[in-house]
Structure 1
């Protein structure tokens, strides 16, 4: 019996499934039968339990039919069979019309919502910032654009990348946090397609920033995006300023041609290599660059000052109490740290470091400088240096080239890397301009193993540079940081064992790993993507600053330097910062701040940018002065 029951159950289910497979008509039929099976008995119960129900069976059945028709919206008309069937037919037509209309409206709304979720609608904004591409730099760029737009009533940032719109919005919201008054708009699509770029309305944008992604063909993608942007803007009356970043110098000319005369193309690898070498020579310089490039503190501005026309540039250095003058822009050419006797002519723009453009006002501070507190001896001479390079990547040859340019006779660079990372031929190519006083050697070893580091006399080096590998195709972008963090942990153990601090400069790819790095708060950590993102954002707000930054970060130009404070003021003297500015002026430099060794363990690393000229402090032999000058 049980077997027969099971067989009947299976056959019934099979017959039911086969019926449903016939299509929508069968489904509607089953739904109608199910509704009738529930509504008709329920209606009968309602009628039979009604004390006012008709007495005759015929009238009660008519009442049941009428109640069933009202419940199922079938009309429920009583009378002859033809009248009842016609009523049902009209009700079904009405139901079909209403259901179809509701379905069409629902489908249209669903398609519209899906289109919005896919980010395929055109942005209608004016003066907005357009960010093309997706990489770790996008979080820095968007965050800094939000900070720059903090005092704007209506500002928008549009991000276009070949990613899901919702995923991009969630990632930016998580890492950037509050957007303040700035509206973030994400659109999905390839940045190299001229038909997709109009979604961002680039013709009405205030600036377009193009980010390289993290794959090996990143530079080719940037060039293609620049060409696509040019094609998308054909026929438009205006072209927005363009700021793009490349990794490889080989693509620079092509990118500049594609960007047009108003475009700015940055070489991220070259700039990163220069900053790492500067930090290796003067620990703490990366903290200065961070302060100057982000919008949270003081940054560069270009101003006009009619009151100073005809006067020498040296007079301008002490003409502002809350701003630091560092140079001139004459025409399209920056003159950073020009000779003090250089006259300021009409149409010259002063390059100043200030908290904001409305905090630059004239205030003569010459009387604050104290002649008796100024140092009069010669500057501290440069000496031979010993640098330990742990690891090897595509930027390592650029760093070796930078070290060689200003190497004193007897300088040494020792490279430690695994055989697969650096070969003798690679190191030899980096040292092809030998004979400049720099000795370059290669040692094979795994820098994540304690025995490798113990065999090195790390404390005999003036600086230790830790580099991560280049990420392999398909590898997570933060994978090189994992090895770097292990190496830093081993170096930290050596510091604790010997009780001596190591001058370590670390290159990381992900800014989130900075908090994990086992280093002192004042140590130099170069987040390559973040620095380039900061630089791109600064230029996007003022395109004329591009030439200023190009000079600051050039190999042989005028840049940010850290000098011993004893070159400017007598150790132990209690004097105002104006005295330091006056002493730097005598040496042909522009002082913009200082670094206090006593405060090196704080979050700022002891760096103080653009202090008021009247700020007094006691200067020690361990302090350093931040200047704009040449080596």
Structure 2
């Protein structure tokens, strides 16, 4: 076979590439040749076109050399070859020195800018909030901390996570938006290293929040972070308040010990399960939780009421025109919905729901009560419940346990899940502990297939709970909410076919999927990460509220309930909300709001009104509901 003829241009290009591959010396040589190829001809043209240039050729060549030397900073000395050589040598030494100095300065500046970009400088703030870790909760927590500090003259939030500082800042700016006067500071590094934790100045912080991650080893790493924080604060004076959350209750004791005295550790899975069950038993209750936990609405506050000392607690319910009283804080212990005859003693604090801490002003509202409009009949009796549980995850046993605690005899829970052996074993183990008041039945099937749901009489259930999958360990794969969205779409089809709305409670992992969910307006959606983030932010502003929320969300204590309005006021009568409060007081409850049936499909509140003024008047219907703090 004959050899293929190679073009001269290809050979020249190949030879040039080969010389460059020899390293820096070849590159320097080529740069010198290119510079001389440009500077020497240009210098010659300047000399030959100069009318004052010397006539002899040797003098003109010397002028060309001087101009070339000045241009390339090579001196340009003329004379004997030795003088020219020494001039070039000195110029090269000077060039090497200046280049090296410029390189060192450039390198130092680059390293400093890189360190600043990586977030390695110490935060110099006082009373700021420190957020340790990165998860979906970080956006909720930072947003709420910004909202809480909106009225402060100077507020700062420092976030430390083992991520790139620029990436964190971009993500927070995108999802949190404007932070107003609050300074948002990001620092990069592992949260389990005490030396790195000092970058956030935790000793001078007002509160430290440790975020849980949704990974198998998240709780163990959270305990390690708390231990690192304790080491970083060793020898310091007053420690900041610490708020953390674990997934598994087995790690709560260790986390509490690591957090130290005064630290608050939440159980995220237990709280989520309680809220799901409460919403399943009373549709619309998730709207109340959202309002109470969000800084944008009405929140819990602790206020002093020395004028009420010695009087019964029932008098306090109608003593605040624009705030709702729900309990007492006595020596650090919350008493939610105590008996109206409970005497208040000096030092008691009132637990109230108010727009702000300065809007809870006293005023007698007893004259607003219309006693003729108060219903006197018995309360609507509770009946056995049938719950359909679609899907299974690590929170499902907790949900079944919460349903068992409040189950009326004859109640039933039907679980529909795939045939995975581990899942079936968990269901059977949960069934063994449900007790006699609740029947647990397993139905095997894929909840994302239409035939599985068609076999069930979904309209016969009092509530339908749709659970998402647990995120798989390792790198993120499919969105765990994908299957949930498919199931909701099939349930929506069954709603349209049956002409009836299903009481569906949905658990989602990612808040961004809330807008994609094919559900009706005002439906109950539990975003587990968002709710825990809201709860942590609330407690970070007043750690005494941790005991209040623990009681409020517990299965056996006084919690938020939705009752038929006909149990409190006569349907069709127009009366004030103070009348509802008085009626609830007679039943041993604290009324904090209502839900209007006529506005249940109207955003943004979907008929839910929390903490209305006592003087607000409206015409009540049998379909309306009253929001109370009470027991079952």
**In the aligned structure 1, how far is the partner of 2:473 from the partner of 2:190?**
20
**In the aligned structure 1, how far is the partner of 2:164 from the partner of 2:434?**
50
- The equivalences for 1:285-304 within 5 A come to 285-304=285-304
**In the aligned structure 2, how far is the partner of 1:60 from the partner of 1:318?**
107
Moved more, 216-225 or 55-64: 55-64
Confirm whether residue 156 of structure 1 aligns to residue 156 of structure 2.
yes
The 1:362–1:348 alpha-carbon spacing in structure 2 relative to 1, beyond 3 Å, is same
Q: Answer whether contact 2:560 2:627 (CA < 8 A) is retained.
A: yes
Distance apart, 1:54 and its partner CA: 2.5
1:141-161 per-position Cα deviation (integer Å, ceiling 9, x unaligned): 111111111122322212122
The alignment partner of 1:480 has SS state of coil
The alignment partner of 2:443 has SS state of strand
The 1:342–1:4 alpha-carbon spacing in structure 2 relative to 1, beyond 3 Å, is closer
Aligned to 1:605: 606
Q: Answer whether contact 1:407 1:436 (CA < 8 A) is retained.
A: no
**In the aligned structure 1, how far is the partner of 2:58 from the partner of 2:114?**
54
Distance apart, 1:422 and its partner CA: 6.4
Aligned to 1:392: 392
Aligned to 1:504: 504
Aligned to 2:100: 100
Q: Answer whether contact 2:539 2:546 (CA < 8 A) is retained.
A: yes
Aligned to 2:539: 539
- The equivalences for 1:131-530 within 5 A come to 131-420=131-420, 423-474=423-474, 476=476, 479-530=479-530
The 1:422–1:461 alpha-carbon spacing in structure 2 relative to 1, beyond 3 Å, is farther
Aligned length, in residue pairs: 629
1:106-154 per-position Cα deviation (integer Å, ceiling 9, x unaligned): 1011111222222222222221111111111111111111111112232
The alignment partner of 2:377 has SS state of coil
Moved more, 103-112 or 416-425: 416-425
**In the aligned structure 1, how far is the partner of 2:510 from the partner of 2:423?**
27
Q: Answer whether contact 2:401 2:434 (CA < 8 A) is retained.
A: no
Moved more, 96-105 or 469-478: 469-478
Structure 1 residue runs of 5 or longer lacking an equivalent are none
Moved more, 456-465 or 31-40: 31-40
Distance apart, 1:215 and its partner CA: 1.1
Aligned to 1:48: 48
**In the aligned structure 2, how far is the partner of 1:433 from the partner of 1:394?**
16
Moved more, 159-168 or 129-138: 159-168
**In the aligned structure 1, how far is the partner of 2:306 from the partner of 2:150?**
29
TM-score normalised by the chain length of structure 1:
0.96
Q: Answer whether contact 2:412 2:438 (CA < 8 A) is retained.
A: yes
**In the aligned structure 2, how far is the partner of 1:168 from the partner of 1:434?**
45
The alignment partner of 1:464 has SS state of strand
Q: Answer whether contact 1:478 1:509 (CA < 8 A) is retained.
A: no
Q: Answer whether contact 2:198 2:232 (CA < 8 A) is retained.
A: yes
Q: Answer whether contact 2:404 2:435 (CA < 8 A) is retained.
A: no
1:449-473 per-position Cα deviation (integer Å, ceiling 9, x unaligned): 1111111111111101111122221
The alignment partner of 1:339 has SS state of coil
Aligned to 2:65: 65
1:246-277 per-position Cα deviation (integer Å, ceiling 9, x unaligned): 11111111111111111101001111111111
Distance apart, 1:97 and its partner CA: 2.0
**In the aligned structure 2, how far is the partner of 1:141 from the partner of 1:75?**
65
Q: Answer whether contact 2:384 2:410 (CA < 8 A) is retained.
A: yes
Distance apart, 1:15 and its partner CA: 5.7
Structure 2 residue runs of 5 or longer lacking an equivalent are none
Q: Answer whether contact 2:392 2:423 (CA < 8 A) is retained.
A: no
The 1:270–1:207 alpha-carbon spacing in structure 2 relative to 1, beyond 3 Å, is same
The alignment partner of 2:194 has SS state of coil
Distance apart, 1:53 and its partner CA: 2.4
Distance apart, 1:481 and its partner CA: 0.9
- The equivalences for 1:618-629 within 5 A come to 618-629=619-630
Q: Answer whether contact 1:401 1:431 (CA < 8 A) is retained.
A: no
Aligned to 1:595: 595
Aligned to 1:553: 553
Aligned to 2:571: 571
**In the aligned structure 1, how far is the partner of 2:519 from the partner of 2:4?**
78
Aligned to 1:77: 77
Moved more, 187-196 or 607-616: 187-196
Moved more, 70-79 or 217-226: 70-79
Distance apart, 1:8 and its partner CA: 6.8
The alignment partner of 1:310 has SS state of coil
Aligned to 2:128: 128
Q: Answer whether contact 1:393 1:421 (CA < 8 A) is retained.
A: no
Distance apart, 1:14 and its partner CA: 6.1
**In the aligned structure 2, how far is the partner of 1:100 from the partner of 1:479?**
52
Confirm whether residue 630 of structure 1 aligns to residue 631 of structure 2.
yes
The 1:118–1:516 alpha-carbon spacing in structure 2 relative to 1, beyond 3 Å, is same
1:174-227 per-position Cα deviation (integer Å, ceiling 9, x unaligned): 221222222222222222222322122211111111111121111111111111
Distance apart, 1:331 and its partner CA: 1.0
**In the aligned structure 1, how far is the partner of 2:586 from the partner of 2:19?**
98
Moved more, 120-129 or 431-440: 431-440
Aligned to 2:618: 617
**In the aligned structure 1, how far is the partner of 2:519 from the partner of 2:546?**
33
The 1:126–1:64 alpha-carbon spacing in structure 2 relative to 1, beyond 3 Å, is same
The alignment partner of 1:171 has SS state of helix
Q: Answer whether contact 2:522 2:606 (CA < 8 A) is retained.
A: yes
**In the aligned structure 2, how far is the partner of 1:581 from the partner of 1:25?**
89
The 1:452–1:5 alpha-carbon spacing in structure 2 relative to 1, beyond 3 Å, is closer
